[in-house]
Amino acid sequence: MQKTELILQSQEALTSSVYRMRLTSRDPIAPLPGQFVNLALPGLFLRRPISVCDFDGHTLTLVYRCVGKGTAYMTQAPNGSRFDALVSLGHGYDLARIPDGAVLVGGGVGIPPLVYLARALHEAGKACTAVLGFRSREDVFLADTFAELGINTVLVTEDGSLGKKGFVTDALPDSIPYVCACGPEGMLRALLRCTPSPAQLSLEERMGCGFGACMGCSLETRDGPRRVCKEGPVFPREVLLWN
Amino acid sequence: MELNVNLCGITLDNPIIPASGTFGYGYEFSEWYDINMLGSLSFKGTTAKPRFGNPTPRIAETPQGMLNSVGLQNPGVDAVISEELPRLRQCFHKPVMANISGFSLEEYVLVAEKLSQVPEIGWLEVNISCPNVHGGGMSFGTSPEMAASVTKAVRNVTKKPVIMKLSPNVTDIVAVARACEDAGADGVSLINTLMGMRLNLRTRKPVLRNVTGGLSGPAVFPVALRMVYQVSAALSIPVVGMGGVSSAEDVLEMMLCGASAVEVGCANLIDPYACKRIIEDLPQAMEAYGISSLSQIIGGAHHA
């Protein structure tokens, strides 16, 4: 956990509602795959938690969907904007436990953190497959980024306008040694019903502080109450009480 | 510059105390800074049994503040004593304030008895004002008679100073505060959160699963200040002021209105360094307003 200032270098729209920010940091930072940042925005009381999409040692990439006042403000921020930020928050994907051949499953804005995870696995010499789900052709984003990393990428759209028609659960490979997923809770639950494979899942919850102080985002688990912002957002499937 | 104050017979290096529910059991914040610079800290409200609290979502944003409906999540008094406080002891070496809550007089008594045995606990802060639980919490703090009965019950089982934490969700907070003083309280702390709600226009439903929650943050500061002013004018026991405090200047206002010490709550959640910053800013703010000793300004606004 670290407090710093992030400086906006560039921003672009990836779809009609999804944006990509590239930022540098005032101080050296070292976010891990699955962690998030919590941005303070002018005029809004609570920070906005955004998952880390990628980090190359210098530039931090955030990909977010514009859903409300805070994210609408972010879309309008000019290059050079400075954000008071808490970085390297939460417990991300446990890379050591992910074997060769893992399947990364993402839905919508659950996809961004899987980019950094895919890069980390790739650099560790572990192959993986990405299964990415969207509503429709015009909602597709970041698919090219996985392809550039040389990762076998399967696209799924609900209306069949691009890739396979249906949900991510309709496009899973036959062999699934391990699952890493991020997306809406309905998707994650459906995914677990489809496969008994070991899995790490990134969850979402409305947060107060984002660093474990307020207990706002707690989740009941087999190990007792756990904070999505602190012990999560990534949890191994065996601790979840979703059965 | 003298920052030290006295709270019920215990000297604090400075009047700043992180408020219960915004600072966990303290050790979480030692990842950000050395928490020994704090005056003290009030740890997460503790009940007899472990509690998960209310279903999520239990946080909502408001203008200049937030709502929470956490509902007293805590691991229960036995785990607090055996697991949380030993961890706090590793990183904090001053008397701490134990915040206790209950759903019956018996529960308050049980938790107070157990925590009274812990040497590093300096004060018991008795929460009779949680707006997020049903059949306990705030219901004890909304009538002077009930508040007095909890005060008496806890008073009887502890030698530690008893500070009753009051609810602002009442018609006459002074009457409740007086009842606590008459029943043997050593101090009162106020205010807990104000009950509120928010709606999600897309779903046309409340943002909070619990429908209502407690409002905190700078939005409540003027209300808190007014109540601290009124209560301290009516009581002769110390008042701990809180509610939306987020700067050294806010601390000075609270103390001039009668607060002997000041709790900082919501500010910790948006800036983990809030208490550190406030403590570091205090000398300069004191100098700007011609104050050399904080203890000498307590209640200064009441003087003619």
**Best residue of B43, B56, B273, B277 to probe chain A, by most A CBs closer than 10 Å:** B56
A2-89 under CATH 2.40.30.10, yes or no: yes
Start-end ranges of CATH 2.40.30.10 in chain A?
Answer: 2-89
Q: Is B130 a catalytic residue?
A: yes
For A46, the closest of B73, B75, B270 (CB atoms) is B270
- Ranges under pLDDT 50 in chain A: none
* Separation in Å, CA of A174 to nearest CA in chain B: 36
pLDDT of residue B141: 87
The Cα of A153 is separated from the nearest Cα of chain B by a number of Å equal to 34
Q: Which two tokens stand for residue B59?
A: 């946080």
ipTM rounded to 2 decimals? 0.93
The pLDDT, as a whole number, for residue B130 is 75
- pTM summary value: 0.95
Segment (H or E) for A19: strand A18-25
Of A207, A213, A225, the CB nearest to B22: A213
pLDDT at A56: 96
Q: Are B232 and B255 in contact (CB under 8 A)?
A: no
Residue B28 has a pLDDT of: 93
Q: Report the pLDDT value the prediction gives residue B303, as an integer from 0 to 100.
A: 80
CA distances from B1 to B13, B218, B240, B295, B299 (A): 12, 27, 21, 11, 19
Residue B136's pLDDT is 59
Cβ contacts of B73 on chain A, cutoff 8 Å: 215, 218, 225
Which residues pair with residue A202 across a beta bridge? A182, A234
For chain A, give every residue range classified as CATH 3.40.50.80.
95-196
Which residues 190-209 of B have a C-beta within 8 angstroms of A?
A: 207
Separation CA A51–CA A74 (nearest Å): 14
The total number of residues written for chain A in this structure: 243
Fold designation for A95-196: Rossmann fold (3.40.50)
Q: Does A220 touch chain B (CB under 8 A)?
A: yes
Pick A45's closest partner by Cβ from B21, B31, B62: B62
The answer for A 118-177 residues in CB contact with B (under 8 A) is none
Q: Which amino acid, residue A230?
A: K
Residue type, B102: G
| Alpha-carbon separation of residue A191 from A98, A106, A131, A178, B67 (angstroms) | 17, 10, 11, 12, 33
pLDDT in tens, B111-140: 999 999 999 999 999 999 877 766 656 678
Q: State which H helix or E strand residue A21 sits in.
A: strand A18-25
Which of A215, A220, A223 to mutate to probe the B interface, most B CBs <10 Å?
A215
Q: Report which DSSP code applies to B43.
A: P
Token pair in block for residue A92: 């991300």
B238 touches chain A (CB under 8 A): no
B65–A contact, CB cutoff 8 A: yes
- Going along chain B from its start, the domains and CATH numbers come out as 5-302 (3.20.20.70)
- Any chain A CB within 8 A of the CB of B163? no
Q: What is the pLDDT of residues A31-40, one digit of tens each?
A: 999 999 999 9
Best of A5, A38, A41, A45 to mutate (most B CBs within 10 Å, chain B): A45
CATH superfamily of A203-243: Dihydroorotate dehydrogenase, electron transfer subunit (2.10.240.10)
Nearest CB partner across the interface for B73, out of A207, A209, A215: A215
Residue ranges, chain B, pLDDT below 70: 133-138, 304
Query: What is the structure's pLDDT at A218?
Result: 97
Closest chain A C-alpha to B221 CA, distance in angstroms:
15
